[in-house]
């Protein structure tokens, strides 16, 4: 019997979507549905782990196993799921506040361990669910509910941070270009190791619809002239400028993943246990 061909509709759920009309996260959700279909992942072999926030509702809108964690804790749960069931495809999802503020510590160590999962971050430069406070990626000087005199802090650069930490796959997409974002998710999922996909996903309520125009006017799609295996090129691309890089920024293969390392350690432990037990038996009989 030939396997049933899956479509994007097979990954949709009946859970009512409660995002604001026009929210960029709709584009991210469509890209995830399409990517899962292109990868032909059976829903029972896919897990979506999310944190807390508007974007973290996305796990309920994907027909797969899901886990809605507490704020900032999506990555350790996703890493644990991949360790327990390495044959499954694991996606983690959340926003810039969830991933780059309270979840920063887990972001750092998940990269360091090279967990074999894809992390989709919907970066809207604001805390949307709690009504428009400044986030780690809010530009300097921007007025928000919590910074009425302008944001005094410099924004965090997640792409540059991930590169410096040793992430093995770094990409940036735009929720207004679903096809391109779908391709990035497909590539990130096929990559063996931690894949960060930062998505420019505007919040129309607290950042305004003009954010879509900003990304369209300043977005630069990386072409063949960019070598994603070249760390120096990736470093240059990730530095702050008016240009917003879109595409695969950095990618290297062959770095052991967390589940591979764990499996190797288990095998070594079994070999050692066998050797010591045999040695003990020999000592008994001699």
User: Which residue range is the domain that position 121 belongs to?
Assistant: 8-254
- CATH number, domain of 195, equals 3.40.50.970
263 with 157, same domain: the answer is: no
Report the sign of the C-alpha dihedral through residues 13, 69, 193, 202, in that order: positive
240 with 283, same domain: the answer is: no
Averaged pLDDT, 81-89: 95
268 with 164, same domain: the answer is: no
Asked whether residue 3 is domain-assigned, the answer is: no
Asked whether residue 167 is domain-assigned, the answer is: yes
Angle (nearest 5°) at CA 180 between 202 and 34: 95
Under the banding of pLDDT at 50, 70 and 90, the label for residue 264 is confident
65 with 196, same domain: the answer is: yes
CA 264 to chain centre: 26
User: How does pLDDT run across 17-55, given as a tens digit for each residue?
Assistant: 999 999 999 999 999 999 999 999 999 999 999 999 999
189 vs 129, more confident: 189
If one counts the domains in the chain, the total is: 2
Asked whether residue 222 is domain-assigned, the answer is: yes
116 with 197, same domain: the answer is: yes
Choose among 89, 90, 88, 86: nearest CA to 75.
90
User: How does pLDDT run across 169-223, given as a tens digit for each residue?
Assistant: 999 999 999 999 999 999 999 999 999 999 999 999 999 999 999 999 999 999 9
233 with 264, same domain: the answer is: no
151 with 31, same domain: the answer is: yes
Asked whether residue 16 is domain-assigned, the answer is: yes
Asked whether residue 1 is domain-assigned, the answer is: no
Asked whether residue 183 is domain-assigned, the answer is: yes
Query: Which two structure tokens, joined as six digits, stand for 178?
Result: 């679903």
Do 187 and 253 meet the contact criterion of CB atoms below 8 Å apart?
no
44 with 170, same domain: the answer is: yes
204 with 248, same domain: the answer is: yes
Do 25 and 201 meet the contact criterion of CB atoms below 8 Å apart?
yes
Q: Which residues contact 81 (CB under 8 A, 6 or more apart)?
A: 47, 49, 67, 88, 90
233 with 164, same domain: the answer is: yes
CB atoms within 10 A of CB 122: 30
100 with 190, same domain: the answer is: yes
265 with 216, same domain: the answer is: no
Asked whether residue 43 is domain-assigned, the answer is: yes
Asked whether residue 2 is domain-assigned, the answer is: no
């Amino acid at each position: 019997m030939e396997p049933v061909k899956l479509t994007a509709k097979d990954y949709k759920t009946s859970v009512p979507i409660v995002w604001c009309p026009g929210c960029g996260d709709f584009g991210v959700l469509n890209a995830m549905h399409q990517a899962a279909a292109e990868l032909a992942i059976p829903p029972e072999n896919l897990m979506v782990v999310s944190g807390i926030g508007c974007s973290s509702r996305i796990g309920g809108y994907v027909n797969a196993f899901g886990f809605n964690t507490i704020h900032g804790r999506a990555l350790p749960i996703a890493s644990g799921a991949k360790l327990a069931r390495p044959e499954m495809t694991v996606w983690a999802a959340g926003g810039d506040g969830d991933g780059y503020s309270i979840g920063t510590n887990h972001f750092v160590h998940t990269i360091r361990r090279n967990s074999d999962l894809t992390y989709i971050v919907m970066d809207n430069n604001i805390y949307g669910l709690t009504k428009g406070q400044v986030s780690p990626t809010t530009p300097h000087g921007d007025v928000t509910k919590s910074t009425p005199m302008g944001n005094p802090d410099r924004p965090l650069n997640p792409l540059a941070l991930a590169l410096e930490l040793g992430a093995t796959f770094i990409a940036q997409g735009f929720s207004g270009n679903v096809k391109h974002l779908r391709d990035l998710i497909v590539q990130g999922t096929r990559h063996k190791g931690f894949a960060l996909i930062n998505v420019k996903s505007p919040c129309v309520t607290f950042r305004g619809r003009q954010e879509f125009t900003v990304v369209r006017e300043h977005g630069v799609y990386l072409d063949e002239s960019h070598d994603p295996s070249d760390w120096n090129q990736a470093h240059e691309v990730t530095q702050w400028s008016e240009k917003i890089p879109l595409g695969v920024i950095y990618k290297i293969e062959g770095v052991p993943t967390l589940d591979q390392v764990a499996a190797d350690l288990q095998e070594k432990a079994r070999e050692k246990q066998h050797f010591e037990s045999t040695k003990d038996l020999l000592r008994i009989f001699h």
